[in-house]
Protein backbone atom coordinates (compact mmCIF):
# COMPACT_ATOMS: atom_id res chain seq x y z
CA UNK A 1 0.00 0.00 0.00
CA UNK A 2 3.04 2.27 0.36
CA UNK A 3 4.17 1.83 -3.23
CA UNK A 4 2.42 5.03 -4.20
CA UNK A 5 4.56 8.10 -3.57
CA UNK A 6 1.74 9.92 -1.83
CA UNK A 7 1.22 7.12 0.68
CA UNK A 8 4.92 7.07 1.42
CA UNK A 9 5.03 10.81 2.11
CA UNK A 10 1.98 10.46 4.29
CA UNK A 11 3.61 7.64 6.24
CA UNK A 12 6.76 9.66 6.81
CA UNK A 13 4.67 12.61 8.00
CA UNK A 14 2.84 10.34 10.44
CA UNK A 15 6.17 9.18 11.66
CA UNK A 16 7.22 12.76 12.38
CA UNK A 17 4.09 13.39 14.39
CA UNK A 18 4.62 10.19 16.34
CA UNK A 19 8.28 10.94 17.03
CA UNK A 20 7.72 14.59 17.94
CA UNK A 21 5.21 13.41 20.46
CA UNK A 22 7.70 10.94 21.94
CA UNK A 23 10.20 13.69 22.66
CA UNK A 24 7.85 15.95 24.60
CA UNK A 25 8.57 13.85 27.69
CA UNK A 26 12.33 13.85 27.13
CA UNK A 27 15.00 15.74 28.99
CA UNK A 28 16.73 18.51 27.02
CA UNK A 29 20.51 18.33 26.79
CA UNK A 30 22.91 21.23 26.52
CA UNK A 31 26.50 21.17 25.26
CA UNK A 32 28.72 24.21 25.26
CA UNK A 33 32.31 25.02 24.56
CA UNK A 34 34.24 27.31 26.88
CA UNK A 35 37.86 28.04 27.77
CA UNK A 36 38.55 24.85 29.72
CA UNK A 37 36.74 22.45 27.41
CA UNK A 38 33.21 21.35 26.59
CA UNK A 39 30.48 20.96 29.17
CA UNK A 40 27.56 18.59 28.56
CA UNK A 41 24.57 18.86 30.87
CA UNK A 42 21.22 17.19 31.35
CA UNK A 43 19.07 15.61 34.04
CA UNK A 44 18.28 11.94 34.23
CA UNK A 45 15.79 9.70 35.98
CA UNK A 46 18.15 6.79 36.51
CA UNK A 47 19.66 6.00 33.13
CA UNK A 48 22.68 8.01 32.08
CA UNK A 49 22.36 10.11 28.95
CA UNK A 50 25.97 11.19 28.46
CA UNK A 51 28.72 8.74 27.46
CA UNK A 52 32.37 8.67 26.50
CA UNK A 53 32.94 7.73 22.86
CA UNK A 54 36.66 8.20 22.36
CA UNK A 55 39.67 10.07 23.73
CA UNK A 56 38.28 13.53 22.93
CA UNK A 57 34.69 12.70 22.03
CA UNK A 58 31.51 12.30 24.05
CA UNK A 59 27.88 11.82 23.17
CA UNK A 60 24.71 13.05 24.78
CA UNK A 61 21.37 11.54 23.95
CA UNK A 62 17.68 12.22 24.25
CA UNK A 63 15.00 9.62 23.68
CA UNK A 64 14.71 5.89 24.11
CA UNK A 65 17.58 4.31 26.08
CA UNK A 66 17.60 1.09 24.02
CA UNK A 67 17.98 3.01 20.76
CA UNK A 68 20.64 5.23 22.26
CA UNK A 69 22.54 2.18 23.45
CA UNK A 70 22.50 0.63 19.98
CA UNK A 71 23.79 3.78 18.32
CA UNK A 72 26.35 4.24 21.06
CA UNK A 73 27.84 0.87 20.14
CA UNK A 74 27.91 1.83 16.46
CA UNK A 75 29.96 4.87 17.40
CA UNK A 76 32.24 3.01 19.82
CA UNK A 77 33.03 0.29 17.27
CA UNK A 78 33.73 2.78 14.53
CA UNK A 79 35.86 5.05 16.70
CA UNK A 80 37.99 2.30 18.23
CA UNK A 81 38.62 0.41 15.00
CA UNK A 82 39.62 3.66 13.33
CA UNK A 83 41.83 4.70 16.25
CA UNK A 84 43.51 1.31 16.25
CA UNK A 85 44.08 0.96 12.53
CA UNK A 86 45.10 4.56 11.94
CA UNK A 87 45.71 6.91 14.85
CA UNK A 88 43.63 8.28 17.73
CA UNK A 89 43.97 11.73 16.15
CA UNK A 90 42.17 10.46 13.03
CA UNK A 91 39.02 9.78 15.02
CA UNK A 92 36.85 12.89 14.64
CA UNK A 93 33.28 13.69 15.60
CA UNK A 94 32.72 14.98 12.08
CA UNK A 95 33.43 11.65 10.45
CA UNK A 96 31.59 9.70 13.14
CA UNK A 97 28.55 11.84 12.51
CA UNK A 98 28.67 12.01 8.73
CA UNK A 99 29.78 8.45 7.95
CA UNK A 100 28.61 6.59 11.02
CA UNK A 101 25.49 8.00 12.55
CA UNK A 102 23.64 10.07 9.95
CA UNK A 103 23.17 7.36 7.27
CA UNK A 104 22.03 4.78 9.85
CA UNK A 105 19.47 7.09 11.46
CA UNK A 106 18.18 8.41 8.14
CA UNK A 107 17.73 4.96 6.71
CA UNK A 108 15.86 3.73 9.78
CA UNK A 109 13.61 6.79 9.66
CA UNK A 110 12.69 6.33 6.01
CA UNK A 111 12.18 2.58 6.02
CA UNK A 112 8.58 2.84 6.99
CA UNK A 113 8.05 -0.85 7.62
CA UNK A 114 10.66 -0.82 10.35
CA UNK A 115 10.83 1.09 13.59
CA UNK A 116 12.79 4.36 13.55
CA UNK A 117 15.34 5.27 16.20
CA UNK A 118 13.58 7.30 18.85
CA UNK A 119 16.63 9.33 19.65
CA UNK A 120 18.44 12.60 19.11
CA UNK A 121 22.19 12.69 19.64
CA UNK A 122 24.73 15.38 20.33
CA UNK A 123 28.38 14.59 19.58
CA UNK A 124 31.02 16.80 21.15
CA UNK A 125 34.69 16.84 20.30
CA UNK A 126 37.12 18.87 22.37
CA UNK A 127 40.09 20.34 20.51
CA UNK A 128 43.51 21.47 21.73
CA UNK A 129 42.22 25.04 21.53
CA UNK A 130 38.69 26.39 21.77
CA UNK A 131 38.45 27.29 18.10
CA UNK A 132 38.90 23.60 17.30
CA UNK A 133 35.94 22.39 19.35
CA UNK A 134 33.09 20.82 17.42
CA UNK A 135 29.52 20.03 18.37
CA UNK A 136 27.20 18.06 16.13
CA UNK A 137 23.55 17.43 16.78
CA UNK A 138 21.41 15.00 14.84
CA UNK A 139 17.65 14.74 14.71
CA UNK A 140 15.64 11.52 14.56
CA UNK A 141 15.35 11.87 10.76
CA UNK A 142 19.09 11.95 10.15
CA UNK A 143 19.38 15.72 9.68
CA UNK A 144 22.45 17.00 11.47
CA UNK A 145 24.04 20.36 12.09
CA UNK A 146 27.49 21.42 13.13
CA UNK A 147 28.16 24.11 15.67
CA UNK A 148 31.37 25.43 17.11
CA UNK A 149 30.33 26.61 20.53
CA UNK A 150 26.86 25.52 21.39
CA UNK A 151 24.72 22.48 20.76
CA UNK A 152 21.34 21.47 22.11
CA UNK A 153 18.92 18.57 22.02
CA UNK A 154 15.39 19.77 22.57
CA UNK A 155 11.86 18.54 21.96
CA UNK A 156 11.24 20.73 18.93
CA UNK A 157 13.11 22.86 16.43
CA UNK A 158 11.44 26.04 17.66
CA UNK A 159 12.85 25.48 21.14
CA UNK A 160 16.26 24.92 19.60
CA UNK A 161 16.03 28.25 17.81
CA UNK A 162 14.98 30.04 20.98
CA UNK A 163 17.90 28.57 22.88
CA UNK A 164 20.39 29.42 20.14
CA UNK A 165 19.27 33.06 20.35
CA UNK A 166 19.42 33.06 24.13
CA UNK A 167 22.90 31.56 23.99
CA UNK A 168 24.09 34.50 21.89
CA UNK A 169 22.72 36.90 24.52
CA UNK A 170 24.33 34.98 27.39
CA UNK A 171 27.79 35.43 25.96
CA UNK A 172 30.80 33.23 26.34
CA UNK A 173 31.49 31.68 29.73
CA UNK A 174 35.13 31.75 30.77
CA UNK A 175 35.00 29.36 33.73
CA UNK A 176 33.44 26.04 34.62
CA UNK A 177 31.12 27.78 37.06
CA UNK A 178 29.93 30.27 34.44
CA UNK A 179 29.49 27.50 31.87
CA UNK A 180 27.47 25.51 34.39
CA UNK A 181 25.21 28.47 35.16
CA UNK A 182 24.59 29.26 31.49
CA UNK A 183 23.90 25.60 30.63
CA UNK A 184 21.52 25.16 33.55
CA UNK A 185 19.63 28.30 32.60
CA UNK A 186 19.33 27.14 28.99
CA UNK A 187 18.22 23.73 30.17
CA UNK A 188 15.58 25.37 32.37
CA UNK A 189 14.25 27.47 29.50
CA UNK A 190 14.12 24.44 27.24
CA UNK A 191 12.36 22.36 29.86
CA UNK A 192 9.75 25.04 30.53
CA UNK A 193 9.04 25.71 26.85
CA UNK A 194 8.67 22.01 26.25
CA UNK A 195 5.98 21.54 28.90
CA UNK A 196 4.27 24.84 28.09
CA UNK A 197 3.86 23.94 24.45
CA UNK A 198 0.21 22.85 24.15
CA UNK A 199 0.74 19.81 21.95
CA UNK A 200 2.90 18.72 19.09
CA UNK A 201 0.05 18.85 16.62
CA UNK A 202 -0.77 22.46 17.30
CA UNK A 203 2.83 23.41 17.30
CA UNK A 204 3.25 21.82 13.94
CA UNK A 205 0.36 23.82 12.55
CA UNK A 206 1.85 27.00 13.94
CA UNK A 207 5.18 26.15 12.45
CA UNK A 208 3.53 25.48 9.10
CA UNK A 209 1.72 28.79 8.99
CA UNK A 210 4.56 30.99 10.22
CA UNK A 211 7.83 29.14 10.16
CA UNK A 212 9.97 32.23 10.76
CA UNK A 213 8.11 33.59 13.75
CA UNK A 214 7.78 30.40 15.73
CA UNK A 215 10.36 31.48 18.32
CA UNK A 216 8.85 31.37 21.76
CA UNK A 217 9.33 33.93 24.45
CA UNK A 218 11.84 33.38 27.22
CA UNK A 219 10.28 32.57 30.61
CA UNK A 220 11.19 34.86 33.50
CA UNK A 221 14.20 34.19 35.72
CA UNK A 222 12.22 33.09 38.75
CA UNK A 223 10.31 30.46 36.77
CA UNK A 224 13.55 29.11 35.34
CA UNK A 225 15.21 28.92 38.75
CA UNK A 226 12.28 27.17 40.34
CA UNK A 227 12.11 24.63 37.51
CA UNK A 228 15.79 23.85 38.04
CA UNK A 229 15.36 23.53 41.82
CA UNK A 230 12.31 21.36 41.44
CA UNK A 231 14.05 19.03 38.97
CA UNK A 232 17.17 18.85 41.15
CA UNK A 233 15.10 17.56 44.02
CA UNK A 234 13.62 14.74 41.92
CA UNK A 235 16.21 13.86 39.29
CA UNK A 236 19.99 13.56 38.96
CA UNK A 237 21.98 16.38 37.44
CA UNK A 238 24.33 14.77 34.95
CA UNK A 239 27.37 16.80 33.94
CA UNK A 240 30.38 15.78 31.91
CA UNK A 241 33.42 17.88 31.21
CA UNK A 242 35.64 17.19 28.21
CA UNK A 243 38.66 18.80 29.77
CA UNK A 244 41.14 20.06 27.17
CA UNK A 245 43.68 20.77 29.93
CA UNK A 246 43.74 17.10 30.92
CA UNK A 247 46.12 15.95 28.19
CA UNK A 248 45.34 14.12 24.99
CA UNK A 249 44.14 10.74 26.20
CA UNK A 250 41.59 11.17 28.92
CA UNK A 251 39.60 14.32 28.48
CA UNK A 252 36.27 12.83 29.63
CA UNK A 253 35.37 13.48 33.23
CA UNK A 254 32.03 13.03 34.93
CA UNK A 255 31.40 15.77 37.50
CA UNK A 256 30.19 14.41 40.83
CA UNK A 257 27.35 15.92 42.84
CA UNK A 258 29.90 16.94 45.51
CA UNK A 259 31.84 18.83 42.86
CA UNK A 260 28.76 20.48 41.39
CA UNK A 261 27.07 21.61 44.57
CA UNK A 262 29.58 24.34 45.57
CA UNK A 263 29.53 25.73 42.02
CA UNK A 264 25.76 26.25 41.88
CA UNK A 265 24.67 26.48 45.55
CA UNK A 266 21.67 28.66 44.72
CA UNK A 267 19.81 25.75 43.14
CA UNK A 268 20.48 23.35 45.97
CA UNK A 269 18.95 25.61 48.62
CA UNK A 270 15.26 25.24 49.20
CA UNK A 271 13.29 28.01 47.53
CA UNK A 272 12.45 30.83 49.94
CA UNK B 1 28.66 -5.52 17.69
CA UNK B 2 31.01 -6.06 20.57
CA UNK B 3 28.37 -6.09 23.24
CA UNK B 4 30.68 -8.11 25.47
CA UNK B 5 33.26 -5.36 25.25
CA UNK B 6 35.65 -7.54 23.27
CA UNK B 7 37.65 -5.28 20.99
CA UNK B 8 39.34 -8.12 19.10
CA UNK B 9 35.93 -9.51 18.22
CA UNK B 10 34.96 -6.08 16.87
CA UNK B 11 38.12 -5.94 14.75
CA UNK B 12 37.29 -9.36 13.40
CA UNK B 13 33.74 -8.33 12.50
CA UNK B 14 35.02 -5.25 10.72
CA UNK B 15 37.18 -7.44 8.51
CA UNK B 16 40.57 -6.72 10.05
CA UNK B 17 42.81 -9.65 9.09
CA UNK B 18 43.70 -11.33 12.34
CA UNK B 19 46.83 -12.83 10.82
CA UNK B 20 48.20 -9.33 11.25
CA UNK B 21 47.81 -9.74 14.96
CA UNK B 22 48.77 -13.36 15.27
CA UNK B 23 51.17 -14.33 12.51
CA UNK B 24 51.51 -18.07 12.18
CA UNK B 25 54.75 -19.90 11.60
CA UNK B 26 53.68 -21.40 8.28
CA UNK B 27 56.06 -21.52 5.37
CA UNK B 28 59.04 -22.68 7.30
CA UNK B 29 57.23 -25.71 8.68
CA UNK B 30 58.36 -26.77 12.10
CA UNK B 31 60.59 -24.30 13.82
CA UNK B 32 64.24 -25.18 13.56
CA UNK B 33 65.98 -23.12 16.14
CA UNK B 34 63.90 -20.67 18.09
CA UNK B 35 66.44 -17.91 18.23
CA UNK B 36 65.52 -15.81 21.19
CA UNK B 37 66.01 -12.24 20.15
CA UNK B 38 65.39 -10.26 23.27
CA UNK B 39 68.41 -8.03 23.57
CA UNK B 40 67.26 -5.68 26.24
CA UNK B 41 66.88 -5.19 29.96
CA UNK B 42 63.52 -4.44 31.51
CA UNK B 43 62.44 -4.97 35.08
CA UNK B 44 59.84 -4.02 37.65
CA UNK B 45 60.18 -3.91 41.41
CA UNK B 46 58.05 -3.05 44.39
CA UNK B 47 59.28 -0.32 46.70
CA UNK B 48 57.76 1.59 49.62
CA UNK B 49 55.36 3.78 47.56
CA UNK B 50 54.37 1.38 44.80
CA UNK B 51 56.03 -0.17 41.79
CA UNK B 52 58.87 1.06 39.59
CA UNK B 53 59.19 -0.23 36.04
CA UNK B 54 62.36 0.45 34.09
CA UNK B 55 63.74 -0.33 30.67
CA UNK B 56 66.91 0.47 28.75
CA UNK B 57 66.60 2.16 25.39
CA UNK B 58 68.71 0.17 22.98
CA UNK B 59 67.29 -1.74 20.02
CA UNK B 60 69.64 -4.20 18.35
CA UNK B 61 69.68 -6.46 15.31
CA UNK B 62 72.38 -9.05 15.75
CA UNK B 63 75.46 -7.11 16.70
CA UNK B 64 74.23 -3.85 15.21
CA UNK B 65 72.76 -1.13 17.41
CA UNK B 66 69.69 -0.03 15.48
CA UNK B 67 68.39 2.68 17.72
CA UNK B 68 69.25 4.19 21.07
CA UNK B 69 66.04 5.91 22.07
CA UNK B 70 63.50 3.11 22.12
CA UNK B 71 60.71 3.25 24.69
CA UNK B 72 60.22 -0.27 25.99
CA UNK B 73 58.14 0.70 29.01
CA UNK B 74 54.71 1.28 27.53
CA UNK B 75 51.79 2.85 29.32
CA UNK B 76 48.73 0.79 28.49
CA UNK B 77 46.23 2.79 30.51
CA UNK B 78 46.15 4.99 33.60
CA UNK B 79 46.99 2.08 35.91
CA UNK B 80 49.07 -0.35 33.92
CA UNK B 81 52.39 -0.60 32.20
CA UNK B 82 53.89 -3.25 29.95
CA UNK B 83 57.66 -3.53 29.70
CA UNK B 84 58.70 -5.42 26.60
CA UNK B 85 61.55 -7.68 25.68
CA UNK B 86 61.57 -9.47 22.36
CA UNK B 87 60.65 -8.64 18.78
CA UNK B 88 59.62 -4.98 18.81
CA UNK B 89 57.12 -5.18 15.93
CA UNK B 90 55.04 -7.83 17.70
CA UNK B 91 55.48 -6.24 21.11
CA UNK B 92 54.35 -2.78 20.00
CA UNK B 93 51.39 -4.32 18.18
CA UNK B 94 50.40 -6.19 21.35
CA UNK B 95 50.63 -2.98 23.33
CA UNK B 96 48.38 -1.22 20.83
CA UNK B 97 45.84 -4.06 20.93
CA UNK B 98 45.83 -4.01 24.73
CA UNK B 99 45.47 -0.26 24.92
CA UNK B 100 42.47 -0.27 22.61
CA UNK B 101 40.97 -3.37 24.23
CA UNK B 102 41.02 -1.77 27.67
CA UNK B 103 39.68 1.55 26.36
CA UNK B 104 36.96 -0.22 24.43
CA UNK B 105 35.97 -2.33 27.39
CA UNK B 106 35.82 0.64 29.77
CA UNK B 107 33.76 2.78 27.41
CA UNK B 108 31.38 0.10 26.22
CA UNK B 109 30.79 -1.71 29.53
CA UNK B 110 30.93 1.51 31.58
CA UNK B 111 33.34 -0.02 34.06
CA UNK B 112 37.08 -0.58 34.20
CA UNK B 113 38.43 -3.98 33.25
CA UNK B 114 39.69 -5.66 36.41
CA UNK B 115 43.42 -6.14 36.86
CA UNK B 116 42.98 -9.88 36.43
CA UNK B 117 41.05 -9.26 33.23
CA UNK B 118 43.94 -7.19 31.93
CA UNK B 119 46.39 -9.98 32.74
CA UNK B 120 44.23 -12.49 30.91
CA UNK B 121 44.06 -10.23 27.87
CA UNK B 122 47.86 -10.15 27.58
CA UNK B 123 48.06 -13.88 28.23
CA UNK B 124 45.61 -14.54 25.39
CA UNK B 125 47.62 -12.40 22.99
CA UNK B 126 50.80 -14.28 23.88
CA UNK B 127 49.10 -17.64 23.54
CA UNK B 128 47.76 -16.78 20.10
CA UNK B 129 51.21 -15.59 19.17
CA UNK B 130 52.84 -18.89 20.14
CA UNK B 131 53.49 -20.17 16.58
CA UNK B 132 55.38 -17.00 15.68
CA UNK B 133 57.19 -17.09 19.00
CA UNK B 134 58.32 -20.67 18.41
CA UNK B 135 59.43 -19.84 14.89
CA UNK B 136 61.62 -17.14 16.36
CA UNK B 137 59.97 -14.37 14.38
CA UNK B 138 57.67 -12.95 17.03
CA UNK B 139 59.01 -13.74 20.47
CA UNK B 140 57.73 -11.41 23.17
CA UNK B 141 58.50 -11.83 26.87
CA UNK B 142 56.82 -8.98 28.69
CA UNK B 143 56.64 -7.81 32.27
CA UNK B 144 53.22 -6.42 33.15
CA UNK B 145 52.85 -4.18 36.19
CA UNK B 146 49.94 -2.17 37.45
CA UNK B 147 47.87 -0.94 40.30
CA UNK B 148 45.00 -3.21 41.28
CA UNK B 149 42.29 -0.71 42.19
CA UNK B 150 40.04 -3.38 43.71
CA UNK B 151 42.70 -4.68 46.08
CA UNK B 152 44.48 -1.36 46.53
CA UNK B 153 48.01 -2.51 45.80
CA UNK B 154 50.64 -2.58 43.07
CA UNK B 155 51.30 -5.89 41.32
CA UNK B 156 53.94 -7.30 39.01
CA UNK B 157 53.54 -10.22 36.61
CA UNK B 158 55.93 -11.82 34.16
CA UNK B 159 55.21 -14.18 31.28
CA UNK B 160 56.86 -16.88 29.26
CA UNK B 161 56.64 -16.80 25.46
CA UNK B 162 53.59 -19.08 25.43
CA UNK B 163 51.49 -16.88 27.67
CA UNK B 164 51.78 -18.43 31.11
CA UNK B 165 51.60 -15.70 33.74
CA UNK B 166 53.50 -15.66 37.02
CA UNK B 167 53.12 -13.20 39.82
CA UNK B 168 56.33 -11.70 41.14
CA UNK B 169 56.42 -11.15 44.88
CA UNK B 170 59.12 -8.48 44.86
CA UNK B 171 60.54 -8.02 41.39
CA UNK B 172 60.52 -9.38 37.85
CA UNK B 173 63.10 -9.13 35.10
CA UNK B 174 63.18 -9.82 31.38
CA UNK B 175 65.59 -9.54 28.45
CA UNK B 176 69.15 -10.53 27.77
CA UNK B 177 70.56 -8.34 30.52
CA UNK B 178 68.26 -9.76 33.13
CA UNK B 179 70.49 -12.58 34.33
CA UNK B 180 73.02 -10.03 35.56
CA UNK B 181 70.59 -7.99 37.59
CA UNK B 182 68.54 -10.93 38.78
CA UNK B 183 71.45 -11.99 40.94
CA UNK B 184 71.94 -8.47 42.26
CA UNK B 185 68.25 -8.12 43.06
CA UNK B 186 68.24 -11.41 44.92
CA UNK B 187 71.36 -10.53 46.88
CA UNK B 188 70.28 -7.00 47.79
CA UNK B 189 66.80 -8.10 48.74
CA UNK B 190 68.11 -10.73 51.13
CA UNK B 191 71.34 -9.28 52.53
CA UNK B 192 71.15 -5.59 51.67
CA UNK B 193 70.54 -2.87 54.27
CA UNK B 194 66.82 -3.10 53.70
CA UNK B 195 64.58 -5.32 51.59
CA UNK B 196 63.77 -3.70 48.24
CA UNK B 197 60.14 -3.26 49.20
CA UNK B 198 61.25 -0.98 52.04
CA UNK B 199 63.24 1.47 49.89
CA UNK B 200 62.00 5.05 49.59
CA UNK B 201 61.60 6.54 46.14
CA UNK B 202 65.03 8.15 45.94
CA UNK B 203 66.91 5.05 47.07
CA UNK B 204 64.83 2.89 44.76
CA UNK B 205 65.63 5.13 41.78
CA UNK B 206 69.36 5.08 42.59
CA UNK B 207 69.13 1.30 42.77
CA UNK B 208 67.38 1.20 39.37
CA UNK B 209 70.12 3.29 37.75
CA UNK B 210 72.86 1.15 39.28
CA UNK B 211 71.14 -2.05 38.12
CA UNK B 212 70.83 -0.70 34.59
CA UNK B 213 74.49 0.27 34.57
CA UNK B 214 75.43 -3.22 35.75
CA UNK B 215 73.29 -4.87 33.07
CA UNK B 216 74.91 -2.74 30.36
CA UNK B 217 78.35 -3.67 31.65
CA UNK B 218 77.84 -7.34 30.83
CA UNK B 219 75.25 -7.26 28.05
CA UNK B 220 76.06 -5.56 24.76
CA UNK B 221 72.37 -5.42 23.83
CA UNK B 222 71.50 -3.29 26.85
CA UNK B 223 71.92 0.45 26.48
CA UNK B 224 72.36 1.36 30.12
CA UNK B 225 72.90 5.01 30.96
CA UNK B 226 74.76 7.31 28.61
CA UNK B 227 75.16 10.59 30.46
CA UNK B 228 77.20 12.10 27.64
CA UNK B 229 74.34 11.65 25.19
CA UNK B 230 71.74 12.64 27.83
CA UNK B 231 70.35 9.15 27.51
CA UNK B 232 68.60 7.74 30.55
CA UNK B 233 66.45 4.65 30.97
CA UNK B 234 62.69 5.03 30.92
CA UNK B 235 61.43 4.68 34.49
CA UNK B 236 57.76 4.75 35.41
CA UNK B 237 56.22 4.78 38.82
CA UNK B 238 52.87 3.12 39.52
CA UNK B 239 50.81 4.01 42.58
CA UNK B 240 47.21 4.62 43.59
CA UNK B 241 47.32 7.91 41.62
CA UNK B 242 48.19 6.02 38.45
CA UNK B 243 51.24 5.84 36.22
CA UNK B 244 53.79 8.65 36.22
CA UNK B 245 57.01 8.91 34.24
CA UNK B 246 60.09 9.87 36.25
CA UNK B 247 61.51 12.96 34.50
CA UNK B 248 64.95 12.58 32.88
CA UNK B 249 66.21 15.57 34.89
CA UNK B 250 65.67 13.73 38.13
CA UNK B 251 67.41 10.63 36.82
CA UNK B 252 70.26 12.83 35.63
CA UNK B 253 70.79 14.38 39.07
CA UNK B 254 70.64 11.03 40.83
CA UNK B 255 72.94 9.42 38.29
CA UNK B 256 75.56 12.14 38.57
CA UNK B 257 75.50 12.28 42.34
CA UNK B 258 74.87 8.71 43.35
CA UNK B 259 76.06 6.48 40.53
CA UNK B 260 78.98 8.21 38.80
CA UNK B 261 80.49 10.04 41.77
CA UNK B 262 79.62 7.67 44.56
CA UNK B 263 82.06 4.82 44.22
User: Could you tell me which of A122, A108, A161 has the C-alpha nearest to residue A27?
Assistant: A122
**Could you give the percent of chain A with pLDDT greater than 90?**
78
Q: So what's the ipTM on this one?
A: 0.88
Q: What is the pLDDT of residue B37?
A: 54
A55: nearest CA partner in chain B: B103
Q: What is the pLDDT of residue B26?
A: 54
Q: What is the pLDDT of residue A33?
A: 96
| Banded model confidence at residue A246, pLDDT cuts 50, 70, 90 | confident
Which residues of B fall within a CB distance of 8 Å from A48? Answer: 110
Per the CB < 8 A criterion, the answer to whether A218 and A48 are in contact is no
| Banded model confidence at residue A1, pLDDT cuts 50, 70, 90 | low
Task: Please tell me if residue A80 touches chain B, with a CB cutoff of 8 Å.
Answer: yes
Q: Which of A29-33, A238-242, B80-84, B136-140 is predicted with the least confidence, judged by mean pLDDT? A: B136-140
pLDDT at residue A142 is higher than 90:
yes
Which residues of B fall within a CB distance of 8 Å from A80? Answer: 7, 10, 100, 103-104, 107
Task: Please tell me if residue A73 touches chain B, with a CB cutoff of 8 Å.
Answer: yes
Nearest to A80 among B3, B78, B104 (CB): B104
Task: Please tell me if residue A90 touches chain B, with a CB cutoff of 8 Å.
Answer: no
Minimal C-alpha gap between B239 and chain A (Å): 18
Q: What is the pLDDT of residue A2?
A: 63
Task: Please tell me if residue B9 touches chain A, with a CB cutoff of 8 Å.
Answer: no
CA distance A118 to A19: 7
Point out the residues of B that are catalytic. Answer: 40
Task: Please tell me if residue B110 touches chain A, with a CB cutoff of 8 Å.
Answer: yes
Q: Which fold has domain A5-260?
A: 3.60.20
Minimal C-alpha gap between A177 and chain B (Å): 26
pLDDT digits (tens, 9 = 90+) for A45-78: 989 999 999 999 999 999 999 999 999 999 999 9
Nearest to B100 among A73, A80, A250 (CB): A80
Which residues of B fall within a CB distance of 8 Å from A54? Answer: 107
**Collapsed DSSP state (helix, strand, coil) of residue B89:** helix
Nearest to B11 among A76, A81, A250 (CB): A81
Q: Which domains does chain B have, with CATH numbers?
A: 39-260 (3.60.20.10)
Q: What is the pLDDT of residue B63?
A: 86
Q: What is the pLDDT of residue A201?
A: 47
pLDDT at residue A196 is higher than 90:
no
Q: Do B2 and A77 touch (CB under 8 A)?
A: yes
Q: What is the pLDDT of residue A4?
A: 78
CA B142 to chain centre: 5
Q: What is the mean pLDDT of chain A?
A: 89
Task: Please tell me if residue A76 touches chain B, with a CB cutoff of 8 Å.
Answer: yes
Look at the alpha carbons of A145, A149, A155, A159 in this order and tell me if their dihedral is positive or negative.
Answer: negative
What value does the mean pLDDT take over residues A143-171? 92
Q: What is the pLDDT of residue A217?
A: 82
CA distance B226 to B233: 9
Residue from B11, B99, B108, B113 to probe the interface with A (highest A Cβ count within 10 Å) = B108
What value does the mean pLDDT take over residues A162-177? 90
Minimal C-alpha gap between B104 and chain A (Å): 7
Q: Pseudo-torsion of CA B151, B99, A238, A31, nearest 10°?
A: 160
**Collapsed DSSP state (helix, strand, coil) of residue A32:** strand
Domain ranges of chain A: 5-260
Which string of DSSP letters, residue by residue, matches B14-59?
TT--GGGTS---TTS-S-S---------EEEEEETTEEEEEE---E
Burial class (CB in 10 A: 0-12, 13-18, 19+), B6: middle
The kind and range of the H/E element at A207 are: helix A200-209
Q: What is the pLDDT of residue A108?
A: 96
**Residues in chain B, pLDDT under 70:** 1-3, 20-37, 263
Q: What is the pLDDT of residue B54?
A: 97
Tell me the residues of chain B between 66 and 85 that have a Cβ less than 8 Å away from chain A.
78
Amino acid sequence: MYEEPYRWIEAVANRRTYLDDQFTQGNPLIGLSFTQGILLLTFNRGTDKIYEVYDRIALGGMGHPADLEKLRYTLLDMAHVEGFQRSPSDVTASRLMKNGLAPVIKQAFEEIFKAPYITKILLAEVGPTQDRDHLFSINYDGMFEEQREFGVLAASSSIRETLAKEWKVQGHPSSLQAALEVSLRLWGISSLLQTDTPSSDEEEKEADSSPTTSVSTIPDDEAIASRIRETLSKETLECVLLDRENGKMETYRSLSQAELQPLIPQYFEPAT
Amino acid sequence: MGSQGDFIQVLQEQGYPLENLFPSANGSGVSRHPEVTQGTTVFAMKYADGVLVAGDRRATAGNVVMYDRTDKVLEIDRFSVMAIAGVPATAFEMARVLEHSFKYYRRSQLQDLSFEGKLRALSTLLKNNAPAALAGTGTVVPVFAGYDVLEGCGKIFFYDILGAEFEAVEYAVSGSGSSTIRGILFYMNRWGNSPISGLNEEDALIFVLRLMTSAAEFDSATGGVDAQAQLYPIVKRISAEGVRTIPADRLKTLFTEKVLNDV
